[in-house]
């Protein structure tokens, strides 16, 4: 794995590198201490298997920055690792295209489980966001006991989708193009593409038609 870590604290970056070697002892790491450096790397020729980034880095422009990184590394999971546990920040990060949000207060076990969930196609949501306002994050909740958090799904064990991804799936079922979906949901086309990719990955399908067929078991 090639992993990009964006955080302005060197000690924290080094700690993450050691932690992530538990997932892959041969993993390689690229580190950045500012948002501009993260974005430059995301726009470059390197392909990353995972991007971890803080929200408090120097130069961070807000959640439009998360969206920009996601758009420049389409298909690569971007996970926020932040000291903020604000429900609003969690929602904004997921809406911007992030594949997960891990508070820095999380234990090593939770962080590793959260990343395993992300690699399997799920979306990690911290338990505080789920318990505090589950409806605001999306539908009913499927909690992963090993991770101490959960992914938005339904009680029957259907694939984990965020509320935004469910909205995108409904639009797909209505036969709408990415441009139409972007207009209806107030997103950029790049963000819509990211959500469509994430939906297909979570459903285990290869195209939009298969996603629509699979939606019958997920959406009312």
Cα gap 36→162, rounded to integer Å: 28
Exposure of 108 in the CB half-sphere (CA atoms within 13 A): 10
% residues pLDDT > 70 (the chain)? 85
pLDDT, one tens digit per residue, over 49-83 is: 899 999 999 999 999 999 999 989 887 889 999 99
Closest to 97 (Cα-Cα) out of 78, 124, 116: 78
pLDDT, one tens digit per residue, over 197-206 is: 888 888 888 7
Exposure of 161 in the CB half-sphere (CA atoms within 13 A): 29
Q: Which domains does the chain have, with CATH numbers?
A: 2-120 (3.40.50.2300), 163-217 (1.10.10.10)
Cα gap 164→138, rounded to integer Å: 8
- pLDDT attached to residue 127: 76
- pLDDT attached to residue 140: 27
- pLDDT attached to residue 136: 34
- pLDDT attached to residue 94: 86
Task: Please identify which residue in the block is written with the tokens 């880095």.
Answer: 57
- pLDDT band at 194, cuts 50/70/90? confident
pLDDT, one tens digit per residue, over 15-34 is: 999 999 888 888 899 999 99
- pLDDT attached to residue 131: 45
Per-residue buried b or exposed e for 127-161, using 16+ beta carbons within 10 Å of the residue's own CB: bebbeeeeeebbbebbebeebbbbbbbbeeebbbb
DSSP string over the chain: -EEEEE-S-HHHHHHHHHHHTTT-TT-EEEEESSHHHHHHHHHSS---SEEEE-SSSTT--SHHHHHHHHHHTTTS-EEEEES---HHHHHHHHHTT-SEEEETTS-HHHHHHHHHHHHTT--BB-HHHHHHHHHHH-SEEEEETTTTEEEEE-TT-PPP--HHHHHHHHHHHTT--HHHHHHHHT--HHHHHHHHHHHHHHHT-SSHHHHHHHGGGT--
Read off the pLDDT of each residue in 146-166 and give the average, rounded to a whole number: 55
Q: Lowest mean pLDDT: which of 40-44, 105-109, 119-123?
A: 119-123
Task: Please identify which residue in the block is written with the tokens 């399908």.
Answer: 205
pTM attached to this predicted model: 0.64
150 has pLDDT over 80:
no
- pLDDT attached to residue 129: 67
Cα gap 176→161, rounded to integer Å: 19
Q: Lowest mean pLDDT: which of 53-57, 108-112, 143-147, 207-211?
A: 143-147
Return mean pLDDT, the chain: 81
Choice between 148 and 85, residue whose per-residue pLDDT is larger: 85
């Amino acid at each position: 794995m090639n992993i990009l870590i964006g955080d302005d604290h060197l000690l924290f970056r080094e700690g993450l590198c050691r932690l992530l070697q538990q997932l892959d002892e041969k993993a390689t790491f690229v580190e950045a201490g500012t948002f501009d450096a993260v974005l430059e790397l995301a726009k470059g020729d390197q392909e990353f298997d995972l991007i971890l980034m803080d929200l408090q880095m120097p130069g961070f422009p807000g959640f439009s920055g998360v969206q920009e990184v996601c758009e420049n590394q389409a298909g690569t999971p971007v996970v926020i690792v932040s000291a903020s546990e604000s429900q609003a920040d969690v929602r904004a990060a997921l809406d911007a295209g992030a594949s997960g949000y891990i508070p820095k207060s999380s234990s090593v076990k939770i962080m590793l489980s959260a990343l395993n969930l992300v690699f399997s196609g799920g979306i990690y949501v911290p338990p505080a966001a789920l318990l505090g306002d589950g409806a605001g994050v999306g539908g009913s909740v499927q909690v992963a006991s090993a991770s101490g958090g959960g992914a938005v799904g339904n009680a029957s064990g259907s694939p984990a989708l965020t509320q935004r991804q469910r909205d995108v799936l409904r639009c797909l079922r209505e036969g709408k193009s990415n441009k139409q979906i972007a207009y209806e949901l107030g997103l950029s086309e790049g963000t819509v593409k990211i959500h469509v990719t994430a939906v297909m990955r979570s459903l285990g399908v290869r195209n939009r038609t298969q996603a629509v067929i699979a939606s019958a078991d997920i959406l009312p």
